[in-house]
Amino acid sequence: MSNDSTNALNNETRDAWNTNASVWDARMGDDGNDFHQLLIRPAIERLLEVKPGTRILDIACGTGLTTRRLASLGAHVIGIDFAEEMIAYARRRTQQHETSIEYYVLDATDETALLALGERSFDAAVSAMGLMDMAEIDPLLQALTKLLRPGGCFIFAVMHPCFNSTHVSMAAELKDCDGQFITEYSVKVSGYLQPSTTKGLAIENQPKPQLYFHRPLHVLLGAAFRAGFVLDGLEEPAFGADDSSNSRFYSWSNFTQIPPALVARLRFSDEFLRKS
């Protein structure tokens, strides 16, 4: 992708998130929604295993949900986002005593800007539902090979590219099962293999749709492998039966057998470490 194309997509994406920042902040609050609390946060924390004093980079931090949570577990966290309004809300929600948090307006598709944070200065990096909002991920992955310390890891959560994208439709069907009527929930996938850029809504009633950059697994993970990472942790969190609600058929809490998110942990390959 050319620099002009990336810049144009970045500008459109940044404008959407700046426009949506107030609605997003009001909806997510200090703790996030059920999707974040029950699926994303626990999976990230299991894969990350935060230890006090760990220095972590939170990429596409938005209003600082993950940033504040990791800091509460004892980490020193740098949160970055290229949407100025999102960072402004993150700072407002961060208390003065939370001195282990820093925020910067920074474009995660700009490798040079990322490296200015300091090479070999992070024990880990996370991105909670951010990569599918980025026009390019190769610059970020390349930068992480220099930002992370040798034993470091990168944990990311994304909308599951197989089951949760703008190429997926949700369905709820009435089924007679052994003499009982039940509602069966499923998804219909109309596209997967080709990367695509489409507009969508992160939450209902947001003022402006944002761009989603769909990457199938071979593209998403292939970029990580080319940079020198290997996959050494993977979760596909889904809601449990106790979380389900029939109030809205299109709520992911009803789709207990289909994971709406994918959470992965990357580490440097042995070959990369030998060459470093």
Q: CB atoms < 10 A from the CB of 258, how many?
A: 19
Domain that holds residue 13: 3-159+211-240+260-269
Cβ distance 70 to 94 under 8 Å? no
- Into how many domains does the chain fold? 1
Residue 152 domain flag: yes
Domain assignment present for residue 178? The answer is: no
The secondary element (H helix, E strand) that includes residue 125 is: strand 122-128
Q: Quickly count helices (H) and strands (E) in the chain.
A: 9, 11
| pLDDT recorded at residue 110 | 96
Give a yes or no: residue 198 inside a domain.
no
Segment 3-28, tens digit of pLDDT: 888 899 999 999 999 999 999 999 99
224, part of any domain: yes
Residues of the chain with pLDDT under 50: none
Q: pTM score, two decimals?
A: 0.95
Q: Render the burial of 7-45: b for 16+ CB within 10 Å, e for the rest.
A: eebbeebbebbbbbbbbbbebbeeebeebbebbbbebbb
Query: CA dist 49 to 54, 135, 151, 249, Å?
Result: 10, 29, 13, 35
Is the residue at 99 inside a domain?
Answer: yes
Q: What's the pLDDT score for residue 245? A: 57
pLDDT of the residue at 204: 84
In a domain, 181, yes or no: no
Q: In the chain, what's the furthest Cα-to-Cα distance?
A: 65
Distance between CA atoms of 276 and 274, rounded to whole angstroms? 6
Indicate which CATH number applies to the domain containing 90. 3.40.50.150
In a domain, 253, yes or no: no
- The pLDDT, as a whole number, for residue 261 is 98
The residue type at 148: L
